Amino acid sequence: MPPRILTSDSNWLRLNQDEIFAPFFSGYLNLLKSDLKQIQVMDHAGNPHQSYYTCEQDHDIRNQEWKPFQIIEGHCEVFGYDFSETLDIIQERVGRILKCECEILL
Q: Which domain holds residue 44?
A: 8-105
pLDDT in tens, 4-58: 888 888 999 999 999 999 999 999 999 999 999 999 998 888 887 889 999 999 9
89 in any annotated domain: yes
Dist CA 55 CA 39 (whole Å): 10
Q: Is the pLDDT of residue 2 over 80?
A: no
1 in any annotated domain: no
Dist CA 13 CA 31 (whole Å): 24
3 in any annotated domain: no
Chain centroid to Cα 101, Å, comes to 4
39 in any annotated domain: yes
Dist CA 82 CA 9 (whole Å): 10
Can you give the pTM of this predicted structure? 0.87
2 in any annotated domain: no
Taking the CA of residue 61 as centre, how many other CA atoms within 13 Å lie in the half-sphere pointing to its CB? 1
Q: What is the domain count for the chain?
A: 1
